[in-house]
Amino acid sequence: MARAISAIENGDPECLPLLNKLFTLARRATVIGVTGPPGAGKSTLVEKLAAAYRRKGSRVAILAVDPTSPFSGGAILGDRIRMQSLSTDEGVYIRSMATRGRLGGLAPATEDAVTVLEAAGYGTVAIETVGVGQDEVEVASLADITLLLLTPAMGDEVQAFKAGVMEIADIFVINKSDYAGSDRIAQEIAAMLSLSTAQGNWRPPIIKTVATTGQGIEDLLQAVGKFHSHAERSSLWKAREREKWRLRLLQLLRQKLFESVLHHVLSDQEIAEHVDRIIERRTDPHTVVEEIMKGLRWCA
């Protein structure tokens, strides 16, 4: 399993037949996305959630996506160490993945890693991603349920969140509720929610937790269970599933088309020449792209 994920991460073409087989075999896992700002307690909470699911008998996989540092080029990859209480449990699989420059908060291989884990029989897959409250919300399109972690320390920052960030939350978790201010932030979120239209008749609950002690984890599990049955009863899950695979298909296609243009149509030398012409203002970038597109027979 680990080798398969590494091969996928490295873009090994031999993975494609394997992924095809695994995908068609795989039983669906429940994918829980956990996102929130740096240090909000995501790993600590995921560790507690995983332990709770283990007690219910489910095997749990955790994918912790670490932003690749633009400075060192390496990821922090510290969560395996941080989630030590789970490290001796064979029913738990933990893996860190680096974003490697992919925008949106996921690692390039996250979706396919989920396929591998589903095929390996993990019933629950938790994906931890860092969201700084802006655009790192891609996890929501992959996950069945998205938990957005906030903390009392955030205060006014919540109001500065872009609308799209609040909308990804199926459940709001106010972690570090042992600190003062959790009621205030809960009220602010409730006020924001009252202004927005509920997605598929689901009003996201606001759950207070203290991940370090496990306080509130049982409430959170119940909220996840409630969402689960709501999403199954309503058409929410079906609609999300369609949208997820539609986006995934377009994303892969976009990437392939782009790579194939770079590979077959444009050499580095030609790109450099186009750049020269743009710098010299003999043409503009739009016109260059139009010219390149005209050169592609299948686009005509």
Ligand X SMILES: Nc1nc2c(ncn2[C@@H]2O[C@H](COP(=O)(O)OP(=O)(O)OP(=O)(O)O)[C@@H](O)[C@H]2O)c(=O)[nH]1
> What part of residues 118-137 is at the interface with ligand X (CB under 6 A)?
130
From the list Mg ion, ligand X, none, partner contacted by residue 212 (C-beta under 5 to 8 A by kind)? ligand X
When CB distances are held under 5 to 8 angstroms depending on the partner's kind, the choice from ligand X, Mg ion, none that residue 164 binds is none
CA-nearest of 203, 200, 197 to 169 is: 203
In whole angstroms, give the CA distance from residue 172 to residue 166: 9
Comparing CB distances to ligand X, the nearer of 42 and 274 is 42
Q: Does 182 bind ligand X (CB under 6 A)?
A: no
Q: Name the residue whose CB lies closest to Mg ion.
A: 43
Question: Cβ 213 to ligand X, closest distance in Å?
Answer: 7
The smaller minimum CB distance to ligand X, of residues 82 and 294, is found at: 82
- CA–CA separation, 7 and 4 (whole Å): 5
Site membership for ligand X, residue 220 (CB under 6 A):
no
C-alpha distances in Å from residue 42, one per residue of 145, 183, 253, 260, 291: 15, 20, 32, 38, 48
Site mask, ligand X, residues 23-62, x = CB under 6 A? ---------------xxxxxxx------------------
Residue 58's Cβ-count burial label (10 Å; 0-12, 13-18, 19+) is middle
Which residue, 19 or 217, has its beta carbon nearer to Mg ion?
217
Choose the one of Mg ion, ligand X, none that binds residue 217, judging by a C-beta under 5 to 8 angstroms depending on kind.
Answer: none
Q: Smallest distance from the beta carbon of 98 to ligand X, in angstroms?
A: 13
- Cβ neighbors of 18 (< 8 A, separation 6 or more) are 4, 7
- Chain centroid to CA 158: 20
Q: Is 43 in the site for Mg ion (CB under 5 A)?
A: yes
Closest approach of Cβ 227 to ligand X, in Å? Answer: 21
Q: How far apart, in whole angstroms, are the C-alpha atoms of residue 95 and residue 104?
A: 19
SS3 of residue 116 by DSSP: helix
| Interaction site with ligand X (CB under 6 A) | 38-44, 82, 130, 175-176, 178, 210-212
